[in-house]
Amino acid sequence: MSTPTTLPTLLLLPRRAASLGEILDAGFGLYRQSLFGCLPLSLLAVLLGQLPSAYLQSTGQSLALDTAKDLPWWLLMLLAAVGTLWCWLVLMLRQRASLLRRAKSLGASTDTARDLATVESLTTDLLQASRLLPRALATLMLALVAVVLGLLLLVIPGIYLLIGFWPALALVVFESAGPRTALDGSLRLARGSWRHLAATLLVVAMTVFGLFVIGSLIGLVFIKLAEGLPAASIVAAVLGALFQPLLIAFGITAYADLRHRRDQMPSSASSSA
């Protein structure tokens, strides 16, 4: 990729192809160092996602998805989707800010120090996420259309695009890419590393799911002791708030690995020649 990234990828992974274990370790490390600053926004994303269900319960309507819903529910669904995406963008920027603070403590380079002046403020990240939101929405909509068409036509192209488009949101956030540039760029990043990316996402999904199950089992004990629906809602909200930043951290480390793999391709080709 010729476009520079504002993410200090070398603080996550070495400048080479990383193993699955290294990607998981880097993701956990980023998660731990940024969790405190990410929790309020992650909890906000969870609460936004609960708005449509809360509306149905308050109006006595069925929660089943196969029943007709009124206009306010659809508006709340739209608000929840857009609001959750905005929270994810802020979480990505907050995790980058934690990396840059670490870079500052380690003695940042000139380029990284320049980035520190613009991303260390929470207010700056909130405004930046708002500016990126229309671009991110368009990117996800185009990706969804392409994946659905691929699944309907031959299935396999849809699966390929589903994996290949994974880094697109990172390109929007860290490379200021437009929708089409982000989708094209994500496919270029995945080219030659698609199987590795698919394996990474599978391992990440299994890891997050396993941790979620363990958290749910612990939560069941709390619910049993509390004996009440509010306790179940609190546990679900806390689990959601804890695991969203973890999934995003893994996504960022996967993007960093793809950047390094892409950067190594020319040198690898020339050495083999």
Mean pLDDT, consecutive 10-residue segments, the chain of 273 residues?
Answer: 77 87 91 90 88 84 78 90 94 90 63 49 88 95 92 85 91 93 92 88 83 67 58 68 88 92 62 35
Residue 58 lies in a domain: yes
Confidence at residue 105, expressed as pLDDT on a 0 to 100 scale: 65
pLDDT, residue 87, reads: 94
Please give the model's pTM, rounded to 2 decimal places: 0.84
Q: Is 12 inside a domain boundary?
A: no
Look at residue 129 in the predicted model and tell me its pLDDT.
Answer: 93
Q: Is 5 inside any structural domain?
A: no
C-beta of residue 85 within 8 angstroms of C-beta of residue 133: yes
Residue 270 lies inside a defined structural domain of this protein: no
The number of domains in the chain is 1
Name the burial class of residue 21, with classes exposed (0-12), middle (13-18) and buried (19+) by CB atoms within 10 angstroms of its CB. exposed
Token pair 């363990």: residue: 214
Whether 88 is in a domain gets the answer yes
Domain holding 73, by residue range, is 19-264
Classified as helix, coil or strand, 7 is coil
- The reported pLDDT for the residue numbered 106 is 64
Cβ contacts of residue 257 below 8 Å, gap of 6+? Answer: 13, 17, 18, 23, 200
Residue 126 lies in a domain: yes
pLDDT at 6: 86
Q: Is residue 4 part of a domain?
A: no
Domain assignment of residue 26, yes or no: yes
> How many Å separate Cα 56 from the centre of its chain?
28
